Copies of this chain bind each other. A is one copy, B any other.
Amino acid sequence: MNFTFEQLFDFTKNIFVKIGCPERDAETAAEVLLSADLRGVDSHGVARLSGYVRLWEAGRINPNPNVKIIHETPSTAVVDGDGGLGLVVAPVAMKVAMDKARNVGTGWVSVKHSNHYGIAGYHAMQALQENMIGLSMTNASPLVSPTFSKERLLGTNPISIAIPAKEQPPFVADMATTTAANGKLEILQRKGENAPEGWIQGKDGNPTTNPYGVKEGGSLLPLGGDREHGSHKGYALGSIVDIFSAVLSGANYGPWVPPFVAFLEPDPNPVGEGLGHFFGAMRVDAFRPADEFKSHMDKWIERFRSSATTPGHEKVLIPGDPERELEQERRKSGIPLLNPVEKDLKALGKKFKVPFAE
């Protein structure tokens, strides 16, 4: 069934208020979470709301955190999220990066003691309105094996980079550093289909096409899939995200990143606090006049979008095109929720006495 953005926003905000978030934080969290549903990254949106609530019930989320800068230089900062929702901590940290960029050209912020922050793209895109290039990355619960390893040592560790253009819509890359995200395996499971080669490996470390491979103790594979197809590059990218997000800030990294699911306990011997993010903002006019840059971005985008296609394809996409088209459609005709998600939200509403989409 389809729901309007407003219906889901009000519900989500009210739930966050019920767990103790200040009104304004609850609004921010709802906006960030729902940007995933709008942009078609359904696995990171409202479907995760009860996951956040369970983490709060387990005492692993501070609903009213004192988010603060604990170290800084003119172009950098480390932000302590005080155990808050990543959905609330991340926008504060991105704002710090943009403030620094306003002053000295660029700003770079590493964050510790945070939690899942929704989709990477939301945060990177905040920079666009000020003619800045935005960057956002985060580490995440370990589900990914490095090339040649059978252990789960990395998360799907996404990277998003948003670049403004003039007449053209912005360039917005937003991608896990794995071949495929976990959400795609769930789709295959529902359809009863096998996974393509290069997506996952079994618990024994051998490649598998079993779509339950990860659930049964295996791992997602880094972008590239195997060594011959460049998985060492995906592994390096995921590692860089982990190091920038957590080793720079003092958060947990690698296999120590606390799991998102409340039924799994965090490591009893953590190497840092919470999980980590990394944000960047670069003022375009710190390099060349903004208008000149944006005109060339238009030319870049137009050249790529109009290039000759391979057989069976109608057009070449620019990063961000599919998500933007989906957002336009969903703002108009609503956000579709799967039945189990709808049921889950209704139960959540009942528990907290918050009416769901009425």
By a beta-carbon cutoff of 8 Å, the part of chain A in contact with chain B is 71, 73-76, 78, 103-106, 108, 110, 145-151, 153, 161, 163, 171, 173, 175, 177-180, 196, 198-199, 201, 204-206, 223-225, 228-230, 232-237, 239-240, 242-243, 247-250, 253-255, 271-272, 282-284, 286-288, 292-293, 296-297, 299-300, 303-304, 307-311, 313, 315-317, 319
The residues of B that contact A286 with a CB separation of less than 8 Å are 73, 75-76, 108
The minimal Cβ–Cβ distance linking A145 to chain B, given in whole angstroms, is 8
CA of A206 to CA of B249, assembled, Å: 45
Which listed residue, B74, B175, B196, touches A236 by the CB 8 Å rule? B175
Copies of this chain per assembly: 2
- Among A180, A224, A230, max chain B CB count under 10 A is at A230
What is the bound-complex CA distance between A228 and B307, given in angstroms? 21
A229 contacts across to B, CB distance below 8 A: 179, 196, 198-199, 224-225, 229
Complex CA gap A38/B303 in Å reads 38
* Contacts A149-B310, A223-B223; A319 near B76 (Cβ below 8 A): no
A293 contacts which chain B residues (CB < 8 A)?
A: 247-248
User: Across the two chains, which residue of chain B brings its CB closest to A219?
Assistant: B310
The interface residues of chain B lying within 8 Å CB-to-CB of A149 are 304, 307-310, 316
**A171, B153: Cα distance in complex, Å:** 16
Residue contact B105 to A105, C-beta cutoff 8 Å:
no
C-alpha spacing A129/B236, complex, angstroms: 21
Q: Which residues of B contact A161 (CB under 8 A)?
A: 236, 240
Contact A317 B76 (CB under 8 A): no
- A147 & B316 in contact (Cβ 8 Å cutoff): yes
Contact (Cβ within 8 A) B71 A287: yes
Q: Specify which of A71, A201, A240, A286 lies most central, judged by the most chain B CB atoms within 10 Å of its CB.
A: A286
The answer, among B173, B204, B307, B309, for a CB contact under 8 Å with A240, is B173
- Chain B nearest CB: distance from A289 CB in Å? 9
Query: Could you say which residues of chain B place their CB within 8 Å of the CB of A150?
Result: 307-310
Cα separation A283 to B147 with both chains bound (whole Å):
29
Chain B residues lying within 8 Å of A151, measured Cβ to Cβ, are 307-308
